[in-house]
């Protein structure tokens, strides 16, 4: 049943959406299930439709699509978040997950810990890191070569990730996605890693039961989630009916750093694989290309914003912030072009974005996405605008120095491919 724009509920997650499956991961961003439900209805999505989320993140779009019996495709550049998203498959309830947990435990060999090939993890004591890697080896032995679905393997990798967060030592900086370096202090009480693994598996199994309660699991389509870049989607042209997603914002959120403990656990080395992923991630606060110039397709609103940044009297405005923003809009334009390519004629997309400020310069991101879409031949408009009270910028006590009582907006931008 279609609904009108004024009936679309808030994209902001409520308290109950930071519990259960939503509490599995340290993911800062994300929108509410009710917003996705309403947007599916507003756009006219039905059970025959194919929905894509090019920035899958924590997998909320796929979660809601499963509940509605809709086929969902997911694309996500961060392999950690790919595993978290796959682990939220309703089809997992067709397996006795606790029995599989015991099979994995029976294959763990802690007597041969130091043969484990493991990258040093600065967030976990070495002995626990080695034990968790031994469980990972057992998962790969028991499930990796047995023809089991990827979402079953992802479930137990997610159990390990949650064990890392339980055992490890973490401090957040002023930005909630930045993890500061720690001096690891050995645990006073010995942690039984096997018991922790078992308890987390049980807890996650219960979360899945509550999430998909009373649904006919056999009729739910399996989300097809892949590791990939929004700027170079692996899907065929004209193959997707609808897109519901939320690209990174202009707030320098560092998604790779927020999952650094898990990436190190997977074998991403600090100065190679991890750094490469970070630089490939849209919106990351690292300069990868200093030779960029403004593209006219970005639009006048964007150009005005960038000109004000470039001419700002802040010391790092031109040397640091401007290149970061140029990279962002280059990547945004490439991603929108890919959205256009994969959408069928008449297809629609919804992108949730938030405004922000560079000092006293407002970044009207929703309006910028509208203008970029129009410049690429799309019908584009903001279908819902909401004032954001708990914006990431509010964690910085100095953010009000330039402008008092800043107002931030969350916009749901709709594209229609003509």
The average pLDDT across 231-238 equals 98
What is the pLDDT, as a whole number, of residue 168? Answer: 87
| pLDDT tens-digit readout, 236-264 | 999 999 999 999 999 988 989 999 999 99
Q: Is residue 124 within 8 Å of 167, Cβ to Cβ?
A: yes
Nearest one of 352, 252, 358 to 305, comparing CA atoms: 358
The average pLDDT across 296-319 equals 97
What is the pLDDT, as a whole number, of residue 241? Answer: 98
What is the pLDDT, as a whole number, of residue 185? Answer: 66
Tell me the C-alpha distance between 339 and 1, whole Å.
25
Is the pLDDT reported for residue 338 higher than 50? yes
pTM equals 0.93
What is the pLDDT, as a whole number, of residue 180? Answer: 61
Is the pLDDT reported for residue 118 higher than 80? no
Tell me the C-alpha distance between 400 and 357, whole Å.
10
The average pLDDT across 10-37 equals 85
What is the pLDDT, as a whole number, of residue 196? Answer: 98
| pLDDT tens-digit readout, 83-110 | 999 999 999 999 999 999 999 999 998 8
DSSP-assigned letters across all residues of 71-87: EEEEEES-HHHHHHHHT
Tokens of residue 165, six digits:
């967060």
The residue written with tokens 């929905």 in the block is 51
pLDDT tier at 3 (50, 70, 90 boundaries)? very high
Alpha helices, H only, 231-272: 255-258, 260-265
């Amino acid at each position: 049943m279609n609904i009108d724009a004024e009936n679309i509920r808030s994209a902001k997650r409520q308290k109950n959406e930071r519990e259960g499956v939503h509490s599995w991961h340290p993911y800062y961003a994300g929108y509410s299930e009710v917003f996705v439900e309403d947007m599916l209805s507003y756009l006219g999505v039905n059970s025959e439709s194919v929905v894509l989320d090019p920035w899958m993140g924590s997998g909320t779009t796929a979660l809601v699509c499963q509940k509605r019996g809709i086929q969902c495709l997911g694309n996500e550049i961060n392999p950690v978040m790919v595993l978290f998203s796959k682990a939220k498959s309703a089809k997992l309830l067709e397996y006795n997950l606790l029995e599989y947990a015991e099979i994995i435990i029976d294959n763990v060999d802690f007597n041969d810990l130091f043969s484990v090939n493991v990258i040093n993890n600065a967030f976990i004591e070495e002995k626990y890191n080695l034990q968790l890697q031994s469980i990972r080896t057992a998962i790969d032995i028991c499930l990796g070569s047995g023809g089991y679905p990827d979402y079953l393997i992802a479930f137990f990798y997610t159990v390990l990730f949650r064990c890392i967060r339980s055992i490890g030592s973490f401090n957040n900086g002023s930005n909630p996605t930045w993890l500061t370096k720690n001096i690891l202090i050995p645990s006073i009480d010995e942690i039984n890693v096997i018991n922790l693994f078992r308890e987390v598996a049980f807890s996650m199994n219960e979360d899945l039961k509550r999430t998909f309660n009373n649904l006919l699991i056999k009729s739910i389509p399996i989300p097809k989630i892949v590791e990939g870049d929004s700027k170079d989607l692996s899907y065929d042209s004209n193959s997707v009916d609808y897109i519901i997603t939320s690209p990174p914002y202009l707030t320098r959120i560092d998604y790779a750093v927020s999952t650094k403990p898990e990436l190190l656990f997977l074998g991403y080395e600090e100065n190679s694989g991890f750094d490469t992923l970070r630089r490939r991630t849209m919106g990351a606060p690292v300069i990868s290309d200093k030779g960029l110039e403004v593209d006219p397709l970005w639009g006048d609103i964007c150009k005005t914003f960038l000109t004000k940044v470039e001419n700002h009297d802040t010391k790092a405005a031109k040397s640091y912030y401007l290149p970061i923003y140029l990279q962002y809009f280059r990547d945004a334009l490439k991603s929108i072009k890919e959205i256009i390519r994969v959408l069928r004629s008449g297809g629609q997309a919804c992108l949730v974005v938030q405004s922000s400020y560079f000092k006293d310069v407002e970044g009207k991101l929703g309006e910028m996405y509208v203008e970029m879409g129009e410049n690429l031949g799309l019908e584009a408009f903001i279908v819902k605008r909401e004032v954001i009270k708990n914006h990431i910028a509010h964690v910085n006590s100095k953010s009000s120095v330039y402008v008092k009582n800043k107002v931030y907006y969350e916009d749901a931008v709709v594209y229609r491919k003509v």
